[in-house]
Structure 1
Amino acid sequence: MKIFDVISQIEQEILVSNNNYKINIDKDCTDITTMYQNIKSSSVFILKASNRSKIYAEKAISKNPILILTNMEPNSLDDIKCDIPVIYLSNYESAINKLVHLFYDKYIESLKFIAVTGTNGKTTTSHMVGKILSKLDKRVAVVGTLGVYDSKFNKINFDHTTPTTPMHIEFAEIIKYFAEKNYDYIVYEATSIALDQKRVNFIYNELAIFTNFSSEHLEYHHTLENYLEAKLKLNALSKKSIVNYDSKEYRKIAYDRYHFSNDQKNDMYYKYSIKENKLSIWINGNAYQINIALNGIHNYINLAISIIAIHKLNFDIKNILEVVKYIKPPENRFEIFKIREFEFILDFAHTPLAINESISEAIKYSSKKKKS
């Protein structure tokens, strides 16, 4: 790759360049990075404006990259001793997504992607979808809150500076890793913040899964309307979407009846019900019973969503149900363990709705144990 190719790719985003040093457009460039720690002499460093930008710029300059791209105010690095060309950008998100395409497109295009969003259930649903597809002989990686997992559900160590959806180039490196191993799918959690920051705009998903919706992350989004709008952006990034029709906020992207509901009165193609820890699913009126022992009603709900989502990807329901009996939730999702004579429930919840549900399910579990 030449510096000419990099500059040509982001031509529309170039605001101004530091003309003190001429850019050698014929120079070879091996990679792009937003982490100054990863800079090589053949790297282009991309610096996002923040209150620590100058500190990061100084650290980057000491490693001598070929070029610095930044959305800081034009000429704001002029007071730093620097003999490296600097290009100032008008739109950081647009530029970095274009550069990810330039450097990683062949890897991105070799994989299929399933994105899971929603206020609750993203982690469990992602892992259940990944486990079912793996049992269906697909090579699947899962990316999200718990980290990055391969198709055997071994955790892989990656630089992962955000707790759920990786940043642009971090995610691209994860994609490259699994593409080179001939994987079929990556299932990932798409948070509202990541969607608002356009971290996954370089991905076109086979399927987007919308689990549920309630108030969350208002310290970032400020209003519930902004939070919802961020979630809904995933629909435009996906070939198909499967929506929880019981979350009324998502109905604006449910253009047909091929979504799911727990309300038997809704005319949805997919329906499910959970009674006494028995999961039933209806697909276009045909009923299927799933006999599997799980703890916590939310794990049954997320399993139902996972089955429905995979069926919407055109996998045969009989094959799905054959492997589902081996599926368990990820760790810390209503996980029960004993220490001496005491029994503990470990569950993860981060919204008032989810916390109330976890407590309620724990009380139900305790009552059953007492009766037995």
Structure 2
Amino acid sequence: MAEKIQMKVPLVEMDGDEMTRVIWQQIKDILLTPYIDLKTEYYDLGLKKRDETNDQITIQAAEATKKYGVAVKCATITPNAQRVKEYNLKQMWKSPNGTIRAILDGTVFRTPIIVKNIKPFVKTWDKPITIARHAYGDIYKGVEMKINTKGKAELIFTDQDGHVTKEVIHDFDGSGIIMGMYNLNKSIESFARACFNYALDQRQDLWFATKDTISKKYHHTFKDIFQEIYEKEYHDKFSAAGIEYFYTLIDDAVARVIRSSGGFIWACKNYDGDVMSDMIAAAFGSLAMMKSVLVSPEGYYEYEAAHGTVTRHYYQYLKGQETSTNPVATLFAWTSALRKRGELDGINELVQFSDKLEQAAIDTIEAGIMTKDLALLAKGDKKVVNTGEFLEEINARLEHGTR
């Protein structure tokens, strides 16, 4: 066995829930700790621990990301009423991803992982489409209310001098619901700059889309801030790089995306990005074949899998049944975080190891060895294996390439 790669600065490691938590440990045991003297600042973001700490551990993990600069996160449960009962929770805790994004004020970039034997459902897409998702505010910080009787709902703002501004939301003649949400110009400006910088770094066109024709203040503010920053700071840089920025309505963007050949960055507001990244992932093949990174204005990076905790497989696992759960997105969260740590700390061996491990995973799938979800999509000869066997196959190729 060759000497392990040494790390200088720890990664912030955020453990998660259910099947992805199991896979998290398997990846470390099979593909990471045999090769790397893995240094992490560990936070258990499993639902039980979040409940025990009144969700303070999520805040601590986000603050640690600010300290160390790079984090890797396992998929976590955002509890609904059924989960509150199942896990006997104190309350319906908020999304840990939403909490972390609010603290880091970052932008989420999600890009499909491409393999030759899985073709996109949209036949014209021959290059990956990256979704840039604003990761602050909107419904993820929304305040909701159920209305059970007649009455008037108002939007009220009281400024620091005590002046009050009101807008009538609706005169209710019966029961209904209300939601109030917000955003900050500063956060939108950070989102815009992150998107422009990422487009320059990738040398790809940038699209931005909202529904400003309907939302003439909220959505229109996003549009105006993007345009102002582009004209003042990025127009000449984009021209020099030979790339384009343009704005369009969200419904027009959807039509353009379907007709495109890919190879661009599509910037979306928070909820739009949540939905569209799932659509892009599914159309390219699988949510488990999606890279995801949260980038803050200060240069903090948090890598994660874009999918959920794979509950159905976890219940099978608890019964002792074999599962064929795709670990690729979780693996690439680790490799991406390790690569960034290596780049920041000047550890070329760590960067090269991350590249080789990703290539070994792609080579395994392209050799026809894959989990069940991919076998349903892939062309040519294929062999379905369980999760552990798939990781061992990757390890065999990694060893062949690194010995």
TM over 0.5: no
TM-score between both structures, scaled by the size of structure 2: 0.24
**Greater helix proportion:** 2
Q: Larger relative CO (CA 8 A, sep 6+): 1 or 2?
A: 2
Tell which structure's C-alpha radius of gyration is larger.
1
